[in-house]
Amino acid sequence: MSTFGTLTRGQFPSILTETHASPMTQPFWDAAKEDRLVAPKCASCGTFRLPPSPYCFVCRQRDVEWVELPGTGAIYSFTVVRHPLHPDLADACPYVSGVVELDGTQGAGARMLVNIIGCDPDTVKIGDRVAITWEHVNDEMSTPRFRPIPA
């Protein structure tokens, strides 16, 4: 067995197993445990920001409301990681990781950088529709991944 446990090709292992959440990020991780994607939306101007952060980068206000998102989106960019950075990651390669723009948000500023699983590394392309899928790492943490929405 590798340093990283049993590996699945195309899936980067969860090397972080605790969220290290703060009060500002806790709602995201609480919802994650229930397979829901929520994001903070600026109470003043409506701009989403992910990861959650203290200030809105548009209006510099702090108050947010947590909004549930559909958890779907489109691949904005991606890479196919073919060379394992650690020998014990060989069985996970190739895997696809990229930038996803989320439906229901303004895009930039609320993008997610994620491992996109269950896709063909040789045909995946920018613009492909994807949906979130949560990996329950343990009782405390669920980590987001995306997978293609069949056309």
Partner 1 sequence: MTIKDKAAIVGVGATPYYKRGQSYPESEFSMACSAILSALDDAGLTADDLDGFSIYSNSCDPAAIAAELGVPEVRWATTLTSGGGGCAGALGVAAAAVDAGMATTVVTLMTLQQLSKRLGGSAVGGMLAYALMSESSSPYGGGGIPPSAAFTANNGLLSPGHSFAQIASRHMHLYGTKREHFAEVCISQRENAIKRPTALRTEALTLDDYFNARMISDPLCLFDYTMESDGAVAVITVAADRAKDLRQPPVYIMGSAHGGSGRWGPALFRYFQTPDDEFTSSGHRPVARRVYEMAGITPSDVDVALLYDHFSPMVIMQLEDYGFCPIGEGGPFVADGNIRYKTGTIPVNTHGGNLSEAYIIGMTHVREAVEQLRGTAVNQVEGAEIALVTGGPASLPVSASILRK
Q: Which residues bind Zn ion (CB under 5 A)?
A: 42, 44-45, 47, 56, 58-59
Structure tokens at 131: 């949906």
Rounded to a whole number, what is the largest CA-CA distance in the chain?
A: 51
Residue from 6, 85, 138, 139 binding partner 1 (CB under 8 A): 85
Q: In the complex, what is the shortest distance from the CB of residue 5 to partner 1, in angstroms, rounded to a whole number? A: 13
Q: What residues does 148 pair with on adjacent strands?
A: 130
Q: Is 19 in the site for partner 1 (CB under 8 A)?
A: yes
Residue 87 dihedral angles phi and psi, to the nearest 5°? -55, -35
Give the containing element (helix H, strand E) for 116.
strand 112-116
Q: Please state, as a whole number, how many other Cβ atoms lie within 10 Å of the Cβ of residue 7.
A: 20
Residue from 5, 108, 136, 149 binding partner 1 (CB under 8 A): 108
Structure tokens at 134: 């949560």
Q: Which residues bind partner 1 (CB under 8 A)?
A: 3, 12-16, 18-22, 24-25, 28-29, 50-51, 53, 57, 76-83, 85-86, 92, 95, 97-99, 107-115, 121, 125-127, 135, 137, 141, 143
